[in-house]
Amino acid sequence: MFTGIVQTVATVAALDPVESGVRLVVDTGGWKPAMNYEPILGDSIAVNGVCLTLVDVQPTRLSFDVIGETLSRSILGLLHVGSKVHLEPALLAAQPLGGHFVQGHVDGVGTVTAVKRDAADFRLTITPPPELMDYMIPKGGVAIDGVSLTIASINADSFEVALIPTTLNPEFTTFGSAEPGRKVNLEADVLTKTTISYLRRHERV
């Protein structure tokens, strides 16, 4: 379980083919996780919103095995050496829930279709796969590349998020350099998904 409060931006150092997919190695730049947490083998780390298991831990590098299913259903399959990725360790029991409940299970890949760069109102317009639009509600939560964001408005086939200066800081996320056409991992709010799924099963919507 995660909160969508990204702790650092890391750099992809290697993508080595393995039998099950690829071994993803990221350079953390000396990142020290919050709450004095020290990553160990087998721990879960969200990489651009995808929950991955640590298979090797070095002082400034973390390695993960990414299977074909994950590569095909997320933007991890689009990464290359030098790509920037968001990192967040799993939620600790004593840690504040600063964002919203994020599982690290990507629901689909969306596309940035517009960027509004205004000093007072920086917004991204995201077009998700059509089947995810029902889960996008005004003022609801959504995880975009693992970042917990609030949906500012809904359009016919897209939604907008408004970003604060802290979120735009390149030390915390990569959104400040976002351009139309960029692909992003999307995870809808689990409470919204659960509610809609329940109602659909009982034929009330």
Across 56-60, 75-79, 156-160, 201-205, least confident range: 201-205
**What beta strand segments (E) does the chain contain?**
8-18, 21-27, 44-47, 50-57, 61-67, 84-89, 108-116, 122-127, 141-144, 147-154, 159-163, 183-188
Are 112 and 181 in a shared domain?
A: yes
Question: What span, in angstroms and rounded, lies between the C-alpha atoms of 156 and 133?
Answer: 9
- The answer as to whether 72 is a domain residue is yes
Does one domain contain both 59 and 133? no
69 and 133 inside one domain: no
The model's pTM is 0.94
Rounded to an integer, what distance in angstroms lies between the CA atom of residue 180 and that of residue 157?
16
The upper half-sphere exposure of residue 144, i.e. CA atoms within 13 Å in the direction of its Cβ, equals 27
Per-residue pLDDT for 205 more than 80? no
- pLDDT of 203 reads 74
Q: What are the pLDDT digits (tens) for 7-17?
A: 999 999 999 99
113 and 34 fall within a common domain: no
The neighbour count for residue 139, using CB atoms within 10 Å, is: 9
User: Of 89, 124, 145, which closes a domain?
Assistant: 89
Spatial contact of 106 and 187, defined as CB atoms under 8 Å apart = yes
Please state, in angstroms and rounded to a whole number, the distance separating the CA atoms of residues 80 and 141. 29
Based on the fold, state whether residues 85 and 114 are members of the same structural domain: no
Q: What is the CATH number of the domain that holds 194?
A: 2.40.30.20
Residue 204 pLDDT grade (very low, low, confident, very high; cuts 50, 70, 90): low
- Considering the domain boundaries, does residue 1 fall inside one? no
| Residue 133 and residue 182 share a domain | yes
Same domain? 77 vs 115:
no
Asked if residue 197 and residue 121 are part of one domain, the reply reads yes
Q: How many domains is the chain partitioned into structurally?
A: 2
Domain match, 135 and 176 both: yes
Please give the residue range of the domain that contains residue 48: 8-89
Note whether 175 and 124 are same-domain residues: yes
Strand, coil or helix: what is 73? Answer: helix
pLDDT tens figures, 88-141: 999 988 888 889 999 999 999 999 999 999 888 999 999 999 999 999 999 999
Confidence of residue 152 (pLDDT cuts 50, 70, 90): very high
